[in-house]
Homo-oligomer: A and B are copies of this chain.
């Protein structure tokens, strides 16, 4: 059977078109959506990500407000900036690019972001609300997985999900979301020595173990849906955590790497920003 290839690039491009019409509608109603992108220091990857985020903002019609602070920025100054952005009614979303340079407190920083503007879904209050099943923004990595499945007609409900690798931005918030859905889910640490025992149980397998091809064909059951969050660089080439060629013949659906969830991440961040902008309209009316 030929599996469904969960094509993140195609899906992202459709979503971007949808978001353009959202921004048009918002502008007709007098709102220019604005996303603050805060980065500290000169990490090469962070710079690249912020640039990509700003670029997609512009394409969609969202105004990016880039705050590029020097590496020697103090915690106090960073918190002061976030406080200003929290208060600024023209700013709808605030994203702080992680990691921060050493010496800055990431937890205190994300904690400072107002839940109403936490479009990256990183603060403890947001994570707690996800776990409680309360309304809030989902981190892009989680929203991207659910979105990709739904766009291909794969219902997340009534499945046994297995999550391998529990990062703060994907595995843990995904588990928190699933705790409020009609599903069963199993979580394994990335270094679990019996990984295969659990991956074989999965109807939906979400892999984020940071090891090239850690999940192989013998580790999955027939018709599994596989979401690969791997991002393993060898030179300029990037490899997933799943051996795509081997697993694709067994799976009913699978993300390629590159081109799976990755391309959706920024679109999800921007969609959250637009949702935040819509909410300000609701609060006004």
User: Which A residues fall within an 8 A CB radius of B?
Assistant: 107, 111, 123-129, 131-132, 134, 166, 168, 171-173, 175-176, 178-180, 182-189, 192, 194, 198
Taking A125-B128, A128-B127, A128-B131 as contacts, is the C-beta distance between A188 and B179 under 8 angstroms?
Answer: no
Of A132, A180, A182, A194, chain B has the most CB atoms within 10 Å of the CB of: A132
Task: Report 29 cross-chain contacts, Cβ distance below 8 Å, ordered by A residue.
Answer: A107-B134, A111-B125, A124-B125, A124-B126, A124-B127, A124-B129, A124-B131, A125-B125, A125-B128, A127-B128, A127-B131, A127-B132, A128-B128, A128-B131, A131-B131, A131-B176, A132-B172, A166-B179, A166-B180, A172-B179, A175-B175, A175-B179, A176-B176, A178-B187, A179-B187, A182-B189, A183-B189, A184-B198, A186-B186
Chain B proximity of A67: nearest CB distance (Å):
24
Query: In the complex, which residues of chain B have a beta carbon less than 8 angstroms from the beta carbon of A128?
Result: 123-129, 131
Question: In the bound complex, do residue A186 and residue B189 qualify as a contact, i.e. CB atoms below 8 Å apart?
Answer: no
- Shortest Cβ distance from A193 into B: residue: B158
Question: In the bound complex, do residue A187 and residue B185 qualify as a contact, i.e. CB atoms below 8 Å apart?
Answer: yes
Question: In the bound complex, do residue A187 and residue B188 qualify as a contact, i.e. CB atoms below 8 Å apart?
Answer: no
Query: In the complex, which residues of chain B have a beta carbon less than 8 angstroms from the beta carbon of A194?
Result: 184
Bound Cα distance A265, B34 (Å): 47
Chain B proximity of A181: nearest CB distance (Å):
8
Query: In the complex, which residues of chain B have a beta carbon less than 8 angstroms from the beta carbon of A166?
Result: 179-180
Bound Cα distance A224, B268 (Å): 42
Q: What 8 new A-B contacts, CB under 8 Å, besides A127-B127, A132-B168, A176-B176?
A: A111-B125, A124-B131, A125-B125, A126-B128, A128-B128, A128-B129, A175-B179, A186-B186
Question: In the bound complex, do residue A189 and residue B198 qualify as a contact, i.e. CB atoms below 8 Å apart?
Answer: no
Question: In the bound complex, do residue A172 and residue B124 qualify as a contact, i.e. CB atoms below 8 Å apart?
Answer: no
Question: In the bound complex, do residue A185 and residue B184 qualify as a contact, i.e. CB atoms below 8 Å apart?
Answer: no
Query: In the complex, which residues of chain B have a beta carbon less than 8 angstroms from the beta carbon of A175?
Result: 175, 179, 187
Chain B proximity of A257: nearest CB distance (Å):
24
Chain B proximity of A200: nearest CB distance (Å):
12
Query: In the complex, which residues of chain B have a beta carbon less than 8 angstroms from the beta carbon of A168?
Result: 131-132
Chain B proximity of A120: nearest CB distance (Å):
14
Bound Cα distance A132, B172 (Å): 8
Bound Cα distance A111, B77 (Å): 26
